[in-house]
Structure 1
């Protein structure tokens, strides 16, 4: 269980991630804002409390791994890594620009702290299973954390990987499904409904939970429960809001990839500063 001060620090961390994410996207003019913002609380909990990593040695063999299979959500992961010191925060302003080390989708060969290149949806699931299996064979106690999108799990490769992870009893693999209910061109239920995600993973022999994915306390508690499970992988289905923390974008039906004006940036930063002040006063 998190202490009151830990909860406060994680909430502040999440707000800081959102502030840096909207800044880098607005500086370029547009970007994958929706899905980047909906997974922020998971990033705050993982990098702020849960994961083992070394900013001075990102390839440390005994580290925990984070694989963002929905690689287009990289901007919030970049913000997280910069805040934690993997690279200078001013580099965030180079997002998607010529010569940048921060491309639109996660690239391990360019960005310090990125564990796996992703972006071709579905493939991150297989990569995560391979990492988890390799660490198990090497008798490492490392955890592999996998972030999937709800539209992404329409891909068959996700379920092939899920079957194999259960077959190999990969209990140090913990996946998240960012169930923000929208994909690029509309609502998931209207395009290719994924149904009861928790029940589906249970049918594939995974330990499954469903929580409010924008609540740091619930995220942390779910991860702790997943770590107690032996002999099977775990999934945490995150009930989230796409573009969470960005009022103008939350209201949009299509907010997967959007333009962000200078005025919208200022409006959002003002709102987030107010939210930060509320947390400080807790």
Structure 2
């Protein structure tokens, strides 16, 4: 089974990430629907997972030995689709069908339609529970795969998340990792205060998430979610506990919503949005892309 691609340099990884960010904003503009901020903040971690750390095979998406990934913040589907396409699960050209009728790439991930999607998500707060079920199933069946779940900081307001945070250590799920994309913004929110990073109050900006997860019995690490070395070290950290620690792992990934493009970065109104032709030109230039927009 293909456990990873050939070893990529940080420069090569950064190039993939920049292209992926461009394809997100361009695809959403062409489809006239979709989310921008969340996919852009999560992109460094997503590319690191799929191009370096996860045990996967794009030619055999349902291999029972594969690692699993669940995008709990399912409205960020275009970010996942972009990475899956660049990784070879389906043609990159298919991104042009995003959110169209009869497309395999709908506005939220559908495991019955899209190669590489392990769970259908969209109703916030449910992904970690699904991941815990997969991890528990792996334990019961003697399987060695790792289950990764990416959550948004906004969906931590859902009680179902915390039921799983409480129960996962009781089941010894050291094959489960939660990655919290703490990008500081959600679609709406309270006005920002002096301790907030951006233009709205952060959903969990004044909570010590590392202490909270640790207190519930998780291995926990906080990182800069835009630093490739910190990301890689954290993902390796999580993998090192599988079958050893008896505890799940939480990675608190501190990011910026809309990261990578000046007019989307740290701006709550770019939770979603359709870029104009002028904005697309700006994004293309800032992301170092030469390719033309999808029409």
TM-score clears 0.5: yes
Q: Which secondary structure state, in structure 2, belongs to the residue aligned with residue 209 of structure 1?
A: strand
Cα distance, 1:93 vs structure 2: 0.8
Deviation, structure 1 residue 253: 3.7
Structure 1 position 154, deviation (Å)? 0.9
User: 1:207 and 2:222 equivalent?
Assistant: no
Q: Deviations over 1:112-159 (max 9, x none)?
A: 111100010111111000001111111111110100000111111001
Question: Over aligned residue pairs, what C-alpha RMSD do you find?
Answer: 2.0
Q: What is the aligned partner in structure 2 of residue 158 from structure 1?
A: 161
2:236 is matched with which residue?
A: 224
Match of 1:70 in 2: 73
Quick check: 1:30–1:260 contact (8 Å CA) kept in 2?
no
Shift of the 101–111 alpha-carbon distance from structure 1 to 2, 3 Å rule, reads: same
Q: Please state if 1:122 is matched with 2:133.
A: no
Matching residue of 2:264: 249
Q: Runs of 4 or more off by more than 6 Å in structure 1?
A: none
The equivalent of 2:178 in structure 1 is: 175
Would you say the 8 A contact 2:183–2:254 is kept in 1?
yes
- 2:140 aligned to which of 123, 137, 143: 137
Please give the alpha-carbon distance, in whole angstroms, between the structure 2 residues aligned to 1:212 and 1:43.
14
Q: Using the alignment, how far apart are the partners of 1:109 and 1:168 within structure 2?
A: 28
Shift of 1:274: 6.8
- CA distance in 2 between counterparts of 1:29 and 1:58 reads 29
Separation (CA, whole Å) in 1 of partners of 2:25 and 2:270: 13
Output the CA distance in 1 between the equivalents of 2:85 and 2:91: 6
2:188 paired residue number: 185
Whether 2:42 is the aligned partner of 1:27: answer no
Provide the C-alpha distance between the structure 2 equivalents of 1:233 and 1:84, rounded to a whole number of angstroms: 27
The normalised TM-score by structure 2 is 0.88
Gaps of 5+ in 2: 1-6, 291-295
The count of residues paired between Structure 1 and Structure 2 equals 273
Residue 278 of structure 1 aligns with which residue?
none
Shift in Å, 1:227: 2.1
Secondary structure of the corresponding residue to residue 176 of structure 1: strand
Q: Is the 8 A contact 1:29 1:261 kept in 2?
A: no
In structure 2, the residue matched to 1:89 is 92
1:267–1:215: structure 2 CA closer, same or farther, 3 Å change rule?
same
Matches within 5 A, 1:29-44: 29-44=32-47
The C-alpha deviation readout for 1:63-116, integer Å capped at 9, x for no partner, is 001100000011011000011111111110111112211111111111111110
Checking the alignment, whether the CA contact within 8 Å between 1:23 and 1:93 is kept in structure 2 is no
